């Protein structure tokens, strides 16, 4: 149960936290805006199909992707674990550009193959029953599932040792899971999905960029890391697109 909404009946409710203003504060200011712009650019590229299709954003109450995709002309539905998850997407919901649905992320209230693309960002790493979440994402998608996840095959390998310092700086940091790439690929493969695109966002840990407080310095450092091939080899978080094998 989520401490944000103790009455929520669903077993996995991490998106209640990631949909809150407190969580959004992590991405406030020029550095946060730059990090979100990187995420948005990669996701748009991985979507491939022209705007106008249907998108389900599971746990997307943070609005990081739902809002810009609505502006692009996608028909977006955001699923949240509680009505409170509507808060940060209320503008596009109230305008009719986006639909908001309360539901269980482990039992999505939609028929099979209901959406062209299913997104799930900021959730996999906080979901203890993440294989069940992957199953549901695959079930309701027609063309692709796009997720993000942090990997231990990166500088994040030292993250557990630095958790105390990270929590002290970010204040609202919670424990999260690091994945190996094979774990994610194998779980999607169980449901007939294959990896069709993968982009690693940053070489340096995101908390370091927040501590630097310089968009120019962060952009420059990451550009050097990309040029040296470090991001391709050891970058994190990963944005990955999976598509049905058939």
Question: What is 90-118 written as a DSSP string?
Answer: HHHHHTTSEEEEE-BTTB-SS-TT-EEEE
Cα separation of 123 and 146, whole Å?
Answer: 12
Output the CA torsion sign for 185, 136, 41, 50.
Answer: positive
Cα separation of 56 and 47, whole Å?
Answer: 12
Q: The pTM is what?
A: 0.90
CA nearest 173: which of 35, 23, 44?
A: 23
Burial environment of residue 103 by CB neighbours within 10 A (0 to 12, 13 to 18, 19 or more): middle
Q: E-strand spans in 24-169? A: 54-58, 75-80, 98-102, 115-120, 141-149
CA nearest 184: which of 107, 136, 124?
A: 124
Share of the chain above pLDDT 70, in %: 89
Please report, to the nearest 10 degrees, the dihedral formed by the alpha carbons of residues 188, 18, 198, 201 taken in order: -160
pLDDT value of residue 4 = 47
Domain ranges of the chain: 14-244
Task: Examine the pLDDT at 139 and tell me if it is beyond 90.
Answer: yes
pLDDT (tens digit per residue) in 218-242: 999 999 999 999 999 999 999 999 9
CA nearest 88: which of 45, 122, 118, 115?
A: 122
pLDDT value of residue 1 = 36
CATH superfamily of 14-244: Vaccinia Virus protein VP39 (3.40.50.150)
In sequence order, the β-bridge partners of residue 118 are 56, 145
CA nearest 144: which of 123, 180, 109, 115?
A: 115
Q: What is the Cα 232 distance to its own chain's centre? A: 19
Share of the chain above pLDDT 90, in %: 80
In sequence order, the β-bridge partners of residue 102 are 80
Is-contact 149 184, C-beta < 8 A?
yes
Residue count (the chain): 246
pLDDT (tens digit per residue) in 22-78: 999 999 999 999 999 999 999 999 997 667 899 999 999 999 999 999 999 999 999
pLDDT value of residue 164 = 54
């Amino acid at each position: 149960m989520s401490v944000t909404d103790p009455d929520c009946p669903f077993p996995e409710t991490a998106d209640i936290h990631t949909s809150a203003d407190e969580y959004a504060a992590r991405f406030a200011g020029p550095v946060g805006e730059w990090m979100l712009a990187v995420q948005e650019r990669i996701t748009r590229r991985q979507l491939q199909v022209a705007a106008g299709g249907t998108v389900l954003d599971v746990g997307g109450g943070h609005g990081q992707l739902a809002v810009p995709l609505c502006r692009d002309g996608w028909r977006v539905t955001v699923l949240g674990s509680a009505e409170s998850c509507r808060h940060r997407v209320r503008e596009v919901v109230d305008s009719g550009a986006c639909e908001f649905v309360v539901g269980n992320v482990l039992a999505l209230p939609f028929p099979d193959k209901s959406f062209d693309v299913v997104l799930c960002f900021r959730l996999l790493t906080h979901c203890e029953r993440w294989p069940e979440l992957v199953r549901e994402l695959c079930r309701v998608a027609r063309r692709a599932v796009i997720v993000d996840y942090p990997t231990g095959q990166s500088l994040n390998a030292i993250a557990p040792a630095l958790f105390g310092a990270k929590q002290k700086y970010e204040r609202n940091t919670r424990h999260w899971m690091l994945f190996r790439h094979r774990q994610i690929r194998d779980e999607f493969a169980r449901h007939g999905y294959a990896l069709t695109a993968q982009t690693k966002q940053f070489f340096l840990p995101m908390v370091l960029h927040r501590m630097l407080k310089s968009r120019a310095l962060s952009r420059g450092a990451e550009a050097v890391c990309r040029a040296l091939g470090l991001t391709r080899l050891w970058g994190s978080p990963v944005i990955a697109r999976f598509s049905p094998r058939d």
